[in-house]
Amino acid sequence: MKKNPAALACKRATDFALALCATIFLAPLLVLTCIAICLDSPGSPIFTQKRVGKNGDLFDIYKFRTMFVGAPNISTELMAKMERSPITRVGAWLRKTSIDELPQLINIFRGEMSLVGPRPALYNQYELTEERQKVGALSMPPGITGWAQVNGRDELSDEIKVQMDAWYCANWSYWLDWRIVARTVLEVVAGRGAR
């Protein structure tokens, strides 16, 4: 389904305005998080990683570092099967509260991401990316939160996430984004689905 250009422009303007407000309002938390990460383990507090964006284009995603320096670039599902977790003490808390995602406000300013959209896959998840491309799940910009995130997040299999991302892209509307934002707040407060 072809998207309304005016609605897409409104989505982009809303993303930019809300990201700017969030950056200003959350500035003290962002600074304190950087300090906590540096005190907990050596390395930069900001972590960059190649992710798959709209139409399969690669971009550098920004996150607060939740793992020890040198940790492998693997999915959360595979990480959970490792004998020793690469996630730091502060990192576990950042993941639980989703604070680790806040540096993606930079990606929103750069136009690489949206507040709401399919979560971007790792650059080396080739089969997942191919499947998402097939069903149209890469036709919208990736988001900090998304339809799959408010319907189970890491508790869902990749197959189900792909179908949910495809549904979001096919049924997207400006008001659907607001519905997802509202549900995201509830999910974060409840601490559901995060690993």
Percent of the chain as helix, strand, coil, to the nearest 5: 55, 10, 35
Whether 129 and 163 have beta carbons less than 8 Å apart is answered as: no
Ranges of beta strands (E only) in the chain are 46-52, 58-64, 114-116, 143-145
User: Is beta strand 46-52 parallel, antiparallel or unpaired with respect to 143-145?
Assistant: unpaired
Quick: pLDDT tens for 159-192: 999 999 999 999 999 999 999 999 988 887 776 6
Integer Cα distance of 92 and 113 in angstroms: 24
Span of 50-59, 86-95, 149-158, 170-179 with lowest mean pLDDT: 149-158
The mean pLDDT of 35-56, rounded to a whole number, is: 96
- Greater pLDDT, 77 or 152: 152
Question: Both tokens of residue 25?
Answer: 């309002």
Please indicate whether residue 109 or residue 152 has the higher confidence score (pLDDT).
Answer: 109
Q: Specify the pLDDT at position 188.
A: 75
pLDDT of residue 83: 74
Q: Is 132 or 156 the better-scoring residue by pLDDT?
A: 132
Q: Is residue 52 classed as helix, strand or coil in its secondary structure?
A: strand
Quote the pLDDT of residue 116.
97
Which of 142, 139, 145 minimizes the C-alpha distance to 22?
Answer: 145
> Cα dist. 76→140, 178, 183, 194 in Å?
23, 27, 22, 10
> How far is 33 from 167, CA to CA, in rounded Å?
35
- Look at 21-25, 63-67, 155-159, 189-193 and tell me which has the smallest mean pLDDT: 189-193
Report the pLDDT value the prediction gives residue 191, as an integer from 0 to 100: 65
Can you tell me which residue has the tokens 């990749």? 158
pLDDT grade for 1, boundaries at 50, 70 and 90: low
Q: Does residue 71 carry a pLDDT above 90?
A: no
* In the chain, % of residues over pLDDT 70: 95
When pLDDT is averaged across residues 13-29 and rounded to a whole number, the result is 96
Residues 6+ apart with CB under 8 A from 120: 51, 52, 53, 59, 61, 113, 142
Question: What are the two backbone dihedrals, phi and then psi, of residue 136, each rounded to the nearest 5 degrees?
Answer: 80, 20
Q: Is the pLDDT of residue 138 over 80?
A: yes
> What is the rounded average pLDDT for all residues in the chain?
91
Q: Report d(CA 174, CA 106) in Å as an integer.
A: 22
Instruction: Show the beta-strand stretches assigned E in 74-177.
Output: 114-116, 143-145
Delimit the domains of the chain by residue range.
5-189
